[in-house]
């Protein structure tokens, strides 16, 4: 098994800006720990943020957010990408949709995606769907994903587990598993 960590929509607009999610704050320390440890062990880190154009379908639903080239579309400073990480851009919910994520994972020999970031029931869910359709094993640390409400988060996790067979874990347990595999 070779895994990669996919960090979805931890963009400034989603954490502090126009689509601010208060609950995102609580996962930052966990994500930071996971990313730093994984990076040290050589697990690929792949950031995929919204990078919208004004004509995108989503504008009608959510208004302008995480627009291409804007400060708000950048990964928050706390977990900013470093040299050797990968940064892709998306224009819909799924991190797979026309982003080059699938060929990147294949080039890296990855068969397991660790999905993190925002939101459990929206972009994480749609990314999980596409991962499932492409045959990837899916792991979701429940304390490294969040949603606008507790209900959305819990139901989101339940759906990931039931429909895509995602393994729901937490950062602590996941790091132990990764350590075992990569040591």
Residues between 24 and 53 that touch Zn ion (CB under 5 A): 50
Would strands 45-50 and 137-141 be described as parallel, antiparallel, or unpaired? unpaired
- Residue 21 CB, shortest distance to Zn ion, in Å, is 13
Residues between 96 and 135 that touch Zn ion (CB under 5 A): none
Q: How many CB atoms lie within 10 A of CB 180?
A: 8
- Residue 14 CB, shortest distance to Zn ion, in Å, is 9
Residue number with CB closer to Zn ion (3 or 73): 73
Strand (E) or helix (H) holding 168 = strand 167-169
Tell me the three state secondary structure of residue 141.
strand
Residue number with CB closer to Zn ion (50 or 146): 50
Distance CA 70, CA 52 (A): 9
Q: What is the DSSP letter of 24?
A: G
- Residue 122 CB, shortest distance to Zn ion, in Å, is 9
How many residues touch Zn ion under the rule CB under 5 A: the total is 2
- Residue 70 CB, shortest distance to Zn ion, in Å, is 12
**String marking each residue 140-159 x if it binds Zn ion according to CB under 5 A:** --------------------
Distance CA 24, CA 107 (A): 31
Beta-bridge mates of residue 5: 45, 114
Distance CA 61, CA 72 (A): 18
| 13 is a site residue for Zn ion (CB under 5 A) | no
Q: Tell me which residue of 15, 31, 17, 57 sits closest to 170, measured CA to CA.
A: 31
**String marking each residue 48-87 x if it binds Zn ion according to CB under 5 A:** --x-------x-----------------------------
- Residue 27 CB, shortest distance to Zn ion, in Å, is 19
Contacting residues toward Zn ion, per CB under 5 A: 50, 58
């Amino acid at each position: 098994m070779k895994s990669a960590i996919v960090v979805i929509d931890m963009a400034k607009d989603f954490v502090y800006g126009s689509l601010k999610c208060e609950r995102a704050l609580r996962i930052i320390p966990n994500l930071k720990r996971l990313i730093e440890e994984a990076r040290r062990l050589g697990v690929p880190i792949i950031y995929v943020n919204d990078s919208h154009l004004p004509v995108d379908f989503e504008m009608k639903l959510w208004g302008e957010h995480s627009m291409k080239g804007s400060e708000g579309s950048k990964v928050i400073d706390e977990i900013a990408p470093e040299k050797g990480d990968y940064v892709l851009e998306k224009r819909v919910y799924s991190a797979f949709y026309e982003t080059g994520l699938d060929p990147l994972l294949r080039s890296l020999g990855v068969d397991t995606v660790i999905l993190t970031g925002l939101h459990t029931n929206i972009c994480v869910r749609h990314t999980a769907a596409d991962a499932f359709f492409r045959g990837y094993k899916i792991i979701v640390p429940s304390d490294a994903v969040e949603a606008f409400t507790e209900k959305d988060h819990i139901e989101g996790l339940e759906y990931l587990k039931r429909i895509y067979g995602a393994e729901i874990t937490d950062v602590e347990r996941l790091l132990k598993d990764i350590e075992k595999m990569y040591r």
